[in-house]
Structure 1
Amino acid sequence: MSEQPARKRRLPLRWLSLAEFVGIVAVAIAALGYWDSHRERTQTDRERAAAEQEKRAEARAGVLKLSFLMTGTPESGGGRLRLATVHPEQVIQTQALSFPSDVRGDAVQTTGNPRIEAGWFEGGLDKALHTHGSKARQGRLPVGIVTVFIEDGQTKTDRALYLVGYSLHPRVLRSDRVELEGLSLLRRGVGEDVQGAVDARWASQAPAPARP
């Protein structure tokens, strides 16, 4: 008589005790709490990073707004540079323009009409270049500009050193005609001695005077 195959033994069914059930629930609650806390912390970090980025952008915008910068647009065939601020909310009131001393001895004062005219220094530039023996037909003339302007209802002053690009064109029985080409910022934050800063720059770029 053949033996019947042994039946598989079933594992005894064991109910969780109350203490074990409570422990499992506690672990689940702790895991959910950790996940929720992590999600909240991540969201807070993102919001803080976005706020800091916005503050940095506002700070950069503020710095740019406070920076005074001018551009020069040629007019009248290069006989004049029309000056204008990069930021339209900055309104120019007056300007004092200082040229190298051996080009022009006194500063030019303007009121409400910001500009640089070639006629202000044309003859002096021709003499200065002749004295230095320069035959260059193009160059950059340093100009110190003290500008009083209005921004946000406040009167402010900017002292800066600019370079005026020019070219020379010969004329019969007269000094060369100066054609103004543009304006570029060389240095801002110039001290009270604007004329000294202009002369120092001119001396550093001009050739030595020609020997007699």
Structure 2
Amino acid sequence: MSETPSERKRRLRFLTVAEIVGLAALVIAALGYWDSHRERALTERERAAEAQEKKAEARAGALKLTFLLTGAPEGEGERLKLSSVHPEQVIQTQTLTFPSEIRGDPVQTTGNPRIEAGWIEGGVTKADHARGGKLRPGPLPVAIVTSFIEDGQTKSDTALYQLGYRAHPRVLRSDKVELEGLSLIRHGVGANTQAAVDAAWAKQNPPPAKR
């Protein structure tokens, strides 16, 4: 039985409505997917920002716990005033160990952290003469054991530093030593600071050949 023209029109109209409904459903699904994707991307960005912030806080905390000395020359370099890079770390006492060839005994300070040129002038001149005037002008390794107070607690730090200096020859006297600054070599030197200093010194200034 063939369909009438009116039935054919009605069927076509129904198909058109079905297509519109299907298209609307597709659009709604696409919008839902886009909204879900946007929300997921936003959540991931927030998580990444939070993780970055936590890393920055961790780095700041680690830096706060690290003890690091700096040295500022005073006068004409006859003294180096030592201080912690963190003002809340208050230095109490220090024990400074120089290469055995430069100075045989350690120097201790209390409440006045410093390095004085006079502590090493005689040793620098002697070491230079032993090498026929070919001693490297610096830097000079020095181990520093520091007792300091942080957050109401007494703590200790042992580290190996490089002491920058210049030596100026003087007639009938030890060379004049001019201190320039201080830089860190490494922490965790160990209990035998003299051995660590002597090893660093021998590496950059091998002992003179025996005759």
Unpaired runs of at least 5, structure 1: 1-9
CA contact (8 A) 1:133 1:210 kept: no
Measure, in 2, the Cα distance between the counterparts of 1:21 and 1:173. 107
Measure, in 1, the Cα distance between the counterparts of 2:41 and 2:202. 60
What is the SS of the residue equivalent to 1:77? coil
Identity of aligned residues (%): 69
Distance 1:100 1:151, change over 3 A: same
Shift of 1:20: 7.1
Q: 2:107 maps to which residue?
A: 108
Shift of 1:129: 2.3
What is the SS of the residue equivalent to 2:76? helix
Number of equivalenced pairs = 203
Q: Which amino acid aligns with 2:93?
A: T
Measure, in 1, the Cα distance between the counterparts of 2:24 and 2:141. 81
What TM-score do you get using the length of structure 1 for normalisation?
Answer: 0.83
RMSD (Å) for aligned C-alpha atoms: 2.6
Does residue 41 of the first structure (1) align with residue 36 of the second (2)? no
Q: 2:131 maps to which residue?
A: 132
Shift of 1:155: 2.3
Q: 1:80 maps to which residue?
A: 79
Shift of 1:207: 3.6
Measure, in 2, the Cα distance between the counterparts of 1:168 and 1:20. 94
Q: Which amino acid aligns with 2:128?
A: L
Q: Which amino acid aligns with 1:99?
A: F
Which of the pair is proportionally richer in helix?
2
Measure, in 1, the Cα distance between the counterparts of 2:58 and 2:133. 47
CA contact (8 A) 1:84 1:114 kept: yes
Q: 1:186 maps to which residue?
A: 185
CA contact (8 A) 1:137 1:168 kept: no
Unpaired runs of at least 5, structure 2: 1-8
Q: 1:208 maps to which residue?
A: 207
CA contact (8 A) 2:135 2:205 kept: no
Shift of 1:126: 1.6
What is the SS of the residue equivalent to 1:134? coil
After the TM superposition, which of the residue ranges 10-19 and 141-150 deviates more from structure 2?
10-19
CA contact (8 A) 1:150 1:156 kept: yes
What TM-score do you get using the length of structure 2 for normalisation?
Answer: 0.84
